[in-house]
Amino acid sequence: MKKSKREKLKAAGWAVGSVQEFLGLSESDAALIEMKLSLSRSLRDRRQRHGVSQVELAKRLRSSQSRIAKMEAGDPSVSMDLLVSSLLVLGASAADLAKAIRGGEGGKSRHAAA
């Protein structure tokens, strides 16, 4: 958020802070959530780049299309194991996974600018 907008909100009586502060998350909880979201974005991006539909990926994983949609949406019920194994099925290497976790693949961190 731009500094000028933050100042206007504060002046109007609004509390301004991060999602982590609002939810009372520890540093480790926030980092884990961000990693899962990065892996989710990476999965969607990699699947699309490879021209694989959610239905096809579901067949490869012996899962369902709706489960793939949940994985790509960052649903909290999706495990890190499932995200990582799905990326591996799509040909990701250990280096690709590390890059995804750092947020380098699949877009920037959602709250990096907060």
What predicted TM-score, i.e. pTM, was given to this entire model? 0.74
Query: pLDDT tens for residues 12-24?
Result: 988 787 777 878 8
Looking at residue 22, what is its pLDDT?
78
CB contact at 8 A, 59 and 73? no
Please give the CATH number for the structural domain made up of 26-101: 1.10.260.40
Rounded Cα distance, 45 and 32, in Å: 20
**Domain residue extents for the chain:** 26-101
CB contact at 8 A, 47 and 54? yes
Mean pLDDT of 63-76: 96
Looking at residue 102, what is its pLDDT?
87
